[in-house]
Amino acid sequence: MNHMPRLPQQGQAVIPAQDASDEIDLMALFRVLWRGKLPISLTALVLIVLGAVYSFLIATPMYQSTAVVALSTQQNQVVSSISSVLSALGTDSSTINTETTILQSRNLMERVVDKLDLVSDPEFNDRLRPTSYPRQVKDRVKAMLGLPPDSPLTTAAVKSATIDQLLQQVSVANEPNTMAFDITVSSVNPNKAALISNTIAALYIDDQKQEKLQATKEASQFLTVRTADLQKQLQQAENKLSDFNHNTQLVSADALTGLQVQLKDLRDRLARLRADRDGMTKRQADLKAALAQGTPEAFAGFGDDPGVSVLLDKLKSGAISQQDFLTGVQAVIARIAVNLQRSDEQVAALEASEKVQSDQIDTQSKDLITQQELQREVDSTQAIYDSFLAQLKQTDVQLGLAIPDSNQLSSGVPRPAVSPKVGLILVISAFLGLMIGSGFVLLRELQFASYRTADELRAATGLRVLGTIPMIPSRSRKDALGFLREKPTSVVAESIRNLRTSILLSDIDNPPKVIMITSSLPGEGKTTQTLALALNMASLGKRVILIEGDLRRRVFAEYFETKHSVTLLSAMNDPTEITRHDLRQPALGVDLLVAAKANVNAADIFASEKFAGLIATLREHYDFVLIDTPPVLAVPDARVIARHADAIIYTVKWDDTTRTQLRQGLEMFSSVGLEVDGLVLNQVDSKQMKRYGYGGQYGYDAYKSKYYDEG
C-alpha cells in the first residue's frame, strides 16, 4: 500500500517561529546568570586581583590638605560713626560662585607658582620628570623618519603647563548654607599639600586687602577732586544769589500775598461797578422805550422804580397832568445818564489801578521765583559738598584701616593618604567583574541557538514534542543497548515508553505503522533512539521490523552483528525473502533489514517502485515498521523515504541542534508537502540541566528516586 504525501494541517506550524514575548523573565535571567556563575566569579576574581595590584604596586599614594576661608558678610569698622566707602560682599549665590571662581583663577594660581617656585617641582612640571616610554617611542620614530625633534617649550609655556597641573590638583567647594570655602590640594607629599593650600588662602586674603586698599586710594583721589569742584560750584552759586538780592527790589513772600489780596478786592469792586452800570444802562433803555410810546400805560411795569412810581402815584391822584408825568420821566432818564457817566469814570479808574497792581505782582513773583531757584541751588550744592567732604574724611581714615572681606578659619595640615582607596577599588573591581562576567554570560546566552527544554522547542516550532530522552549512561553504542535491556525500569527506558505512547496516540483512529526517525545532522542520537523504540515496541509482543535506511554510513554494525543473508537491497529485489529467511536480531528481539553498499544513488533507490513495494509488503507482515533515515540536511534520502511513512519523528539533540538547523530541516519537509508529526528532545543531560538552572523542568528528575531505577 503506497501512501500519498501528507500536507500540513491547517494552523499547524512546520517552521520555527521567532519568540514573540518581549517581556523579561526575571527567573529565566537569574537562571542564566546562575549557570554562568563560574565565569562570572572568575572574571570578578581576576579584576579584584588587578585592582589589588594597581592599589598596592602601581598607584602613587596621594595626600590631601584643606584650608578653610570664610567671607565676612558685614563691613568691619574701627569707628562706628564712620561708614565704609566700599560695601561688604553679598550673601547670594552669585557672590559665592564668583568667589569660588576667584579661588581657582589662573591669576591666583600663577602667584602660588611664583611664590612656591613650583616650576622647579617635578610633580607640577612634567619636563623635569624622566622621559616617558611613549615619548621615547615618539622621539625614535621622528628620528627614523628624519623629522626634527620637538622644539623645547618656552619659559612662558612651561609656566602655563605648571599652572594647568596645579589647577588639576586644586579643588574649591562651598560648605552648604555657609560662607565658608574649603580649599583642598592634592599632592604626593602631605607637607606640600598643606603648604600649597595655606598659600592659596593667604594670597587670596592678601589680594582682597590689596584690592580694597587700591579701591580706597582711587576713591580718595576721586573725592578730593570732586570736593574741590563742588566747593567752586558752591561759591559761584552764593555769588549769584548775592548779586541778585543786591540788584533787585524784593518784598517778602507775605507782602506779595497781601498785594494779591488787595488785587482781589479791587477786582471784586470793579465787578460790582460794572454790574451796577449795566443795570442803569438797561433801566435807561427801558424808560426811553416806554417814553417813546407817550402814554402812562407804557410805564405799568416800572412800579418798582422809585422815581417813576412817584410820578405814577401823582398822575393817578390828579396832582400832575400827563404832560407833567412825561416831563418828569425825562428828568429821571437825565439823572440816570449823569449816574452812568460817573460810574464809567469810576470803572476806568479802577481798571487802571488794577493793571498797575497786577503788573507789580507779576514782576515781584518772577523775582521771588528766581531768588528761590538761586537759593535752592546754593542749598543743594552745599548739601552735596558737605556729603563729599565727609566721605573724603572717612576715606582718608580708611587708608590705614584696609581690612579684607575674608579670614582663614583653619589652616591646612598634613593628612594620611586619601588615594588609592583600596577598599573602594576592590569593591569597584568586584562589581565591574560581576558586570563584565554577567555581560559575557548574557551575550553568550543571546548567541545560544539550541534547545534545552521541551517548552522552548514547542514555543519555537509550534509542533508537538512527543518526548524527552535522557542521555544513556554508556561509553559505547553497544553498551547503550545493553543498558536498555538490563534496566527496563530506568529513566531512559521510561522516557522511551512515553515516546512510544505519544507516537501511537498521535492518531487514535489510525495509529501509524510505518514510522521513520530522522534528525538534522549526524551524531544527534536518532539511531540509538530508533533502536530503543524498536526494543520497547517488541516488548509489547508486537511484530516489529527495523530498517537501516542510511545506505551511506551503515552504523548498525556498531551496535550488533549485522551479517545477515537478507539486506534492504535484496529484500527490495525479492520481497518474499522476508518470509523465507529468519530476520530476527537477538540483541533487539526484532527483525532487521540492514543496509548494504549500493552502486546506485541512495535517493534513487528509495524513490523506486521496488522500495514502495517492499514497504507495502512489510505493512502486511508486521505491526510496526521503524526506519532509521539519514540526516535530512545531509542528503535527500529522508524526504524520499518520508513519502511512505505514516509518522515522521524528528530528533533534536539537547543543547546542540541549532535553531537554524532545525528550521532548515523542517523547511526541507515542508518544501515537498510533508509535515513532521512530532519532535523528540534527545540526549538530555539532567546534571547539566540543573547546572544551567533548569531544575524541576525536566520531569523525570523530580520523582526518579521513587519510581525509576537510576542504574
DSSP 516-562: EEEESSTTSSHHHHHHHHHHHHHTTT--EEEEE--TTT-GGGGTS--
| pTM score, whole prediction | 0.51
Amino acid at site 31: R
Sign for the pseudo-dihedral over CA of 487, 488, 490, 492: positive
Neighbours of 154 (CB within 10 A): 9
* Nearest one of 182, 197, 176 to 63, comparing CA atoms: 197
Q: pLDDT category, 55, cuts 50, 70, 90?
A: confident
Which of these ranges, 63-67, 403-407, 574-578, 592-596, has the smallest mean pLDDT? Answer: 403-407
| Burial class, 9, CB count within 10 angstroms (exposed 0-12 / middle 13-18 / buried 19+) | exposed
User: What is the distance between the alpha carbons of residues 580 and 593, in angstroms, rounded to a whole number?
Assistant: 14
Q: pLDDT category, 303, cuts 50, 70, 90?
A: low
593 and 514 Cβ atoms separated by less than 8 Å: no
* Nearest one of 226, 270, 255 to 364, comparing CA atoms: 255
Q: pLDDT category, 210, cuts 50, 70, 90?
A: confident
Mean per-residue pLDDT for 16-26?
A: 53
What DSSP string describes 307-330? HHHHHHHHHHHTSS-HHHHHHHHH
Which of these ranges, 267-271, 393-397, 554-558, 605-609, has the smallest mean pLDDT? Answer: 393-397
Neighbours of 27 (CB within 10 A): 8
Neighbours of 602 (CB within 10 A): 19
Which of residues 475 and 119 earns the better pLDDT score?
119
Q: Which of the following CATH numbers is that of domain 449-703: 3.65.10.10, 3.40.50.2000, 3.90.550.10, 3.40.50.300? A: 3.40.50.300
Which of residues 435 and 19 earns the better pLDDT score?
435
Q: Reply yes or no on whether the pLDDT at 618 is more than 90.
A: yes
* Nearest one of 66, 81, 89, 67 to 404, comparing CA atoms: 89
Q: Per the structure block, which three cell numbers stand in for 145?
A: 623618519
Q: Reply yes or no on whether the pLDDT at 39 is more than 50.
A: yes
Q: Reply yes or no on whether the pLDDT at 515 is more than 90.
A: yes
Mean per-residue pLDDT for 283-303?
A: 76
Check residue 24 and give its pLDDT.
62
Q: 441-447 long-range CB contacts below 8 Å, 24 or more apart?
A: 441/32, 441/33, 441/35, 441/36, 441/39, 441/40, 442/32, 442/33, 444/36, 445/32, 445/36
Under DSSP, the state recorded for 105 is -
Among 83-87, 132-136, 659-663, name the most confident range. Answer: 659-663
- CA 30 to chain centroid, in Å, comes to 29
- Coil/strand/helix, residue 348: helix
For 567-699, where are the E strands, in sequence order?
584-585, 590-593, 624-628, 647-653, 678-684
% residues pLDDT > 70 (the chain): 87
Q: Reply yes or no on whether the pLDDT at 702 is more than 50.
A: no
Which of residues 202 and 141 earns the better pLDDT score?
202
pLDDT tens digits along 335-355: 888 888 888 888 888 878 878
DSSP element (H, E) containing 464: none
- The residues spanned by each domain of the chain are 25-59+421-448, 62-77+87-206+404-419, 449-703
Check residue 288 and give its pLDDT.
79
Q: Reply yes or no on whether the pLDDT at 133 is more than 70.
A: no
* Relative orientation angle of helices 422-447 and 37-53, to the nearest 10 degrees: 150
Which of these ranges, 320-324, 434-438, 439-443, 661-665, has the smallest mean pLDDT? Answer: 320-324
pLDDT tens digits along 348-387: 888 788 787 777 777 777 777 887 788 888 888 888 888 8
Q: Reply yes or no on whether the pLDDT at 76 is more than 60.
A: no
Q: Reply yes or no on whether the pLDDT at 241 is more than 90.
A: no
pLDDT tens digits along 560-579: 777 777 888 888 988 888 88
Phi then psi dihedrals of residue 680, to 5 deg: -130, 125
pLDDT tens digits along 646-679: 999 999 999 889 889 999 999 999 999 999 999 9
Which of residues 710 and 383 earns the better pLDDT score?
383
Q: Which residues of 42-56 are buried (b: 16+ CB within 10 A; e: fewer)?
A: ebbeebbeebeeebe
User: What is the distance between the alpha carbons of residues 591 and 542, in angstroms, rounded to a whole number?
Assistant: 11
Amino acid at site 203: L
Which of these ranges, 267-271, 363-367, 484-488, 659-663, has the smallest mean pLDDT? Answer: 363-367
% residues pLDDT > 90 (the chain): 26
Q: Reply yes or no on whether the pLDDT at 74 is more than 90.
A: no
| Burial class, 257, CB count within 10 angstroms (exposed 0-12 / middle 13-18 / buried 19+) | exposed
- State yes or no: cis peptide before 420, omega within 30 of 0: yes
Q: pLDDT category, 5, cuts 50, 70, 90?
A: very low
Check residue 7 and give its pLDDT.
39
User: What is the distance between the alpha carbons of residues 675 and 69, in angstroms, rounded to a whole number?
Assistant: 85
The residue to which cell 410820578 is assigned = 311
CA distances from 136 to 130, 379, 422, 487, 539 (A): 10, 82, 32, 74, 83
